[in-house]
Amino acid sequence: MIHIVFNEAEIELMQKVQELDESLAGSVIQIKDDYAVGPVAGIYETEGYQQRRDWWNQLLENSPYKEQSDLVDDKLTVHNLIKALQENKEEEAWIWMGQNQHDVCGYYWLMPQLREFQGRVHVLYMNNLPFINEKGQIFYPSWLSEIQPSEFLKAKKLARPITLSEYEVDPDEWNKLTQENAMVRILEGGKKIVSKGNDFYDAEILKNITGEWQKASRVLQNTLNRMKVKTGDVFLMWRIKILIQKGEVITEGDINKDWKSFDIKLAGALKQSGANTAEVQTEQ
């Protein structure tokens, strides 16, 4: 059994689950890219794949993750997965996903590549399902990491093969999204993903910027903690820099260094000496 997850924290989570239930024993692999944001046109072709990598590398510049950019190689991960399924005809793959656009877009990107193994690829989608939290209260998780390991013992009963019908319909849905090639994709319910504009998260960021100087890294963290529709910190920092470029936010410090090297505040506030609307060499 090969378990497929979409978030790093879930690797350790699935290992804990296996300690509780030996019937779930198997390797755990992660699809690392966040297919809910960024360009996806021609993503299965060399040119489209490279355009996406170039876009990510641009955003990762001066981020805490710059040195990790080369570690994300989902094409290689899928290559090794397919090889494992081909070599062992008894092997199964279980795709685990929470009710969020990150996991669902990862599923859409992945599943067309596994069509030849129909019947051996299972999906477990925690869609509008109640679980018990640490306080004994019922809640509806959006992310697998919100679920206690013990709760996965009943969740495993949800495993079902991806149907032939899904192998027809879901790739069409993903193809539509790749043709739209929006920078943001969000989950509206079920597995329905809709495209949104580049500025989808800008209002959420601006809610956390005041007329007083704050570290950009603090604004970033506050936005991540408070936003309901989640996205990654690298994408949000890119949008903060775009807001600076557009003049909606002013900055003090050097935005071309690390995220802690500059402060920001709303442009509507009294501009202090040294504030500027720095240019960001990234497509809006």
- Give domain status of residue 170, yes or no: yes
pLDDT for position 270: 47
Confidence of residue 39 (pLDDT cuts 50, 70, 90): very high
Query: pLDDT tens, 219-278?
Result: 999 999 999 999 999 999 999 999 999 999 999 998 888 899 899 999 975 444 444 545
C-alpha pair distances (Å), 15 with each of 46, 78, 120: 34, 20, 21
CB 92 within 8 A of CB 2: yes
Domain holding 253, by residue range, is 202-266
Percent of the chain residues topping a pLDDT of 70: 93
Q: Where are the alpha helices (DSSP H) in 111-184?
A: 152-155, 164-180
CB 231 within 8 A of CB 237: no
The Cα–Cα gap between 101 and 236 comes to 16
Do 206 and 255 belong together in one domain? yes
- Give domain status of residue 55, yes or no: yes
pTM above 0.85, yes or no: yes
Do 38 and 120 belong together in one domain? yes
Do 171 and 222 belong together in one domain? no
CB 9 within 8 A of CB 145: yes
- pLDDT, average across residues 113-142: 92
pLDDT for position 276: 52
pLDDT for position 218: 95
DSSP letter for each residue of 31-63: --S-TTBS--TTTTSHHHHHHHHHHHHHHHTTS
Give the mean pLDDT of the chain.
91
Do 109 and 235 belong together in one domain? no
Task: Flag whether pLDDT at 26 surpasses 60.
Answer: yes
Q: What total of structural domains would you count in the chain?
A: 2
pLDDT for position 269: 58
pLDDT for position 156: 87
Q: Work out the burial of residue 25: count CB atoms within 10 Å of its CB; fewer than 13 is exposed, 13-18 middle, 19 or more buried.
A: exposed
Supply 153's token pair. Answer: 């013992």
Do 110 and 243 belong together in one domain? no
- Give domain status of residue 194, yes or no: no
Do 233 and 164 belong together in one domain? no
C-alpha pair distances (Å), 23 with each of 120, 154, 156: 16, 13, 10
- 282, 243, 237: which is closest to 260 by C-alpha? 237
Task: Flag whether pLDDT at 163 surpasses 60.
Answer: yes
Task: Flag whether pLDDT at 216 surpasses 80.
Answer: yes
Do 141 and 7 belong together in one domain? yes
Do 153 and 206 belong together in one domain? no
Task: Flag whether pLDDT at 162 surpasses 50.
Answer: yes
pLDDT for position 65: 86
Do 206 and 172 belong together in one domain? no
Query: pLDDT tens, 184-197?
Result: 999 998 999 999 99
- pLDDT, average across residues 15-32: 94
- Give domain status of residue 273, yes or no: no
Domain end position, chosen among 177, 193, 227? 177
Do 157 and 253 belong together in one domain? no
Percent of the chain residues topping a pLDDT of 90: 80
Task: Flag whether pLDDT at 281 surpasses 90.
Answer: no
Do 155 and 213 belong together in one domain? no
- Give domain status of residue 109, yes or no: yes
- Give domain status of residue 187, yes or no: no
Do 24 and 136 belong together in one domain? yes
DSSP letter for each residue of 204-269: HHHHT--SS-EEHHHHHHHHHHH-SS---HHHHHHHHHHHHHTTSEEEEE-TTS-TTSEEEEETTS
CATH of the domain at 46: 3.40.1360.10
- Give domain status of residue 149, yes or no: yes
- pLDDT, average across residues 136-152: 91
**Range in 83-92, 109-118, 235-244, 263-272 with the lowest mean pLDDT:** 263-272
The Cα–Cα gap between 167 and 54 comes to 30
Pairing type for strands 93-98 and 121-126 reads: parallel
**Range in 27-41, 102-116, 270-284 with the lowest mean pLDDT:** 270-284
- Give domain status of residue 282, yes or no: no
Task: Flag whether pLDDT at 134 surpasses 90.
Answer: no
